[in-house]
Structure formats: C-alpha cells, structure tokens
C-alpha cells in the first residue's frame, strides 16, 4: 500500500472511529438528561433501563475499538513480506523459533487472555 493510500485508510478509520463514538454519545446523553428530570421514585424505575443501555454501550464501544485496531493493523501489515509476518510469534511461542503447525484446539489455552503491548 502506498503512503497516500495508507494515509487515506488511516484517515477513514479515524473518521469511522470518531463517528461511532459520537453515536454512542448520542444514545447516552439524552437518557442522562431524562434521568435528571425525574423524581426519586421514577429514577428507581428507570435505573434498570440505564443498566441495559450502559451494557449495550460497553459492547458497542468494544466493537468500535476492535474495528479500529483491526483496520490499523490491516493497513500497517498489508505490505509486509512473508518473512516479517512469519516473525510475529503466536502467543506462547518464542520469537525466532522453528515454525510449526498447530491445531485450533491449541488456541483454547489462550481463550481468556488479552492482547497487551
């Protein structure tokens, strides 16, 4: 991918990320305004709705982050050679080690792990 294409792709990813964050905010903000106008009894009735909206927004924001990271990696790694990609080790393997075949079942041990840099 050429530098201009890469810059355009990153700009589009950033734009989509920002647009989606604004969508999340547009869901939460009016709900917050409604809660400030309610009496104590009404607030207690609405609190269950608030919990569900917050849960939904957390899932949505996780998807926003995942989409952004995936697109940035796709953009940055799209021109990498096979040798560069082969140099990125799988979790639990050592860098520079002998490549080996593995089954999807071997990934099971990593199911509760997160990616950290």
pTM of the entire structure?
A: 0.63
Within-domain flag for 7? yes
pLDDT band at 53 (very low <50, low <70, confident <90, very high): confident
pLDDT at residue number 28: 85
Cα separation values, 91 from 24, 68, 87, 94, Å: 33, 22, 12, 8
Within-domain flag for 106? no
Which domain does 71 fall in, by range? Answer: 3-87
Within-domain flag for 102? no
**Percent residues over pLDDT 70 in the chain:** 86
Within-domain flag for 47? yes
117 pLDDT higher than 50: no
Of the two residues 7 and 88, the one the predictor is more confident about is: 7
111 pLDDT higher than 50: yes
Residues 28 and 53: beta-carbon distance below 8 Å? yes
pLDDT at residue number 99: 61
Within-domain flag for 25? yes
Residues 20 and 64: beta-carbon distance below 8 Å? yes
Within-domain flag for 103? no
Within-domain flag for 38? yes
Within-domain flag for 104? no
Of the two residues 15 and 86, the one the predictor is more confident about is: 15
Residue 41 DSSP SS3: helix
pLDDT digits (tens, 9 = 90+) for 18-29: 999 999 999 888
- The domain total for the chain is 1
90 pLDDT higher than 90: no
């Amino acid at each position: 991918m050429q530098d201009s294409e890469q810059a355009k792709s990153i700009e589009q990813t950033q734009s989509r990320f920002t647009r989606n964050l604004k969508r999340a905010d547009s869901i939460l903000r009016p709900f917050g305004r409604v809660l400030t106008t309610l009496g104590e009894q009404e607030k207690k009735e609405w609190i269950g709705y608030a919990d569900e909206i917050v849960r939904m927004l957390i899932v949505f924001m996780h998807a926003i982050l995942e989409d952004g990271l995936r697109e940035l990696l796709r953009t940055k790694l799209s021109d990498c050679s096979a040798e560069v990609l082969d140099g990125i080790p799988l979790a639990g393997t050592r860098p520079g080690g002998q490549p080996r075949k593995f089954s999807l079942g071997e990934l099971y041990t990593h199911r509760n792990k997160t990616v950290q840099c």
